Amino acid sequence: MSATTGRALALLNLLQSHRHWPAPELAQRLGVTVRTVRRDVERLRELGYRIDSTAGVHGGYRLAAGASLPPLLLSDEEAVAIAIGLRLVAAGRVRRGAEYALSVLAKFEQVLPARLRRRVSALASASPRPPGDGGVPSEVLTDLALACRDRERVRIAYTPDGGERQDRRVEPHSLVPVGGDWYLVCWDLDRADWRTFRTDRVQGVEPLRVGFAPRDLAPERVDALVAVARTWGPRAQDAAAVLDMPVESFKAAFGEWAQGAEADGPERTRWPVGGASVRDVAYGLSWLPEGTPYRVELADADRDEMRRMLRRMLAALDR
């Protein structure tokens, strides 16, 4: 392979891995001049790739959809995802690795001609959804996948369960599929903290054209954020525990499960621990740190029900 061909393939791989590249950054990555980048772009255009260019301080290049589908360069993980995906479609099963399949989908959506995109949309809308599928529009998933890949800030229109629509500015970190739903794990710029959003409640994604440096987030914390999001919802029983512990110490001990905790003075923490039933409240209270005094705020009727339940449990233990 000649140096020119190899460089053109490297350029194509960069264009497929990000939605927009400034010309100087491409030149730096490839170890060539901006003029050489311009010539290599022309070579790719002659091969059938549509590459849009913009002038100015923030100008650069962007791989766009053309009249025909050009060849795609795939990573090892994405190639495996395609092979596994085809087998799973044939077998009617779903396995792990969905994030790589979504990465491939994002690449296809980026360059798919309009006539083929219409066919894909028609086939997708006519296909029966599997049980538990959240029914997330493909454009929402692909826009979020591209934002995760490109490290680009976006504004999402989000409607929480039973709430009103909110506009949230976020830095997407990852998309996580669980139980037929997709969850976006991201840094919320307005709350200055990590947040998780169920994607079927996202009505729109607006790219802000602003990049960001990725923040460190361990896989264990990603799992915990999604687990909290799946269990935190509207509560039939309102309850709270007020602990003799500073709120920062409580958050350090409980991690993502400390969601909703607030300071109740310099040395106390108020933690909402309501649930679907009194049993859920009792279960939440059982996780409070041993040796830390606390009181429970609970309606009188629910308090009586919890006393009866605990008496039965104590009698069973002593029997």
Task: Give the pLDDT of the chain (319 residues) as one tens digit per residue.
Answer: 567 778 888 888 788 777 788 888 888 889 999 899 999 999 888 888 888 888 876 678 988 866 555 666 666 666 655 655 544 444 434 434 555 566 666 666 666 667 666 666 555 554 444 444 456 776 788 788 888 888 899 999 998 876 788 999 999 998 888 877 888 999 999 988 899 999 989 998 998 888 899 899 888 888 888 888 877 655 555 788 999 999 999 988 888 788 778 899 899 999 888 777 888 888 888 888 888 999 999 888 889 999 999 999 999 998 8
- Compute the distance between CA of residue 4 and CA of residue 113 in angstroms, rounded to an integer: 28
What are the DSSP calls for 239-250, one per residue? EEEEESS-HHHH
Rounded to whole angstroms, the Cα distance separating 138 from 109 reads: 9
Give CA angle at 312 (309, 313), nearest 5°: 90
Count Cβ atoms below 10 Å from residue 23 Cβ, excluding itself: 19
How many CB atoms are closer than 10 A to CB 167?
11
Residue 279: what residue type? R
Question: Using CA atoms, how far apart are residues 294 and 309, in angstroms rounded to an integer?
Answer: 20
Provide the whole-model pTM. 0.57
Whole-number Å distance between alpha carbons of 213 and 171: 9
Spatial CA neighbour of 243 closest among 262, 215, 226, 227: 262
Q: For tokens 């169920």, name the residue.
A: 198
Q: Which residues pair with 262 in a beta bridge?
A: 270
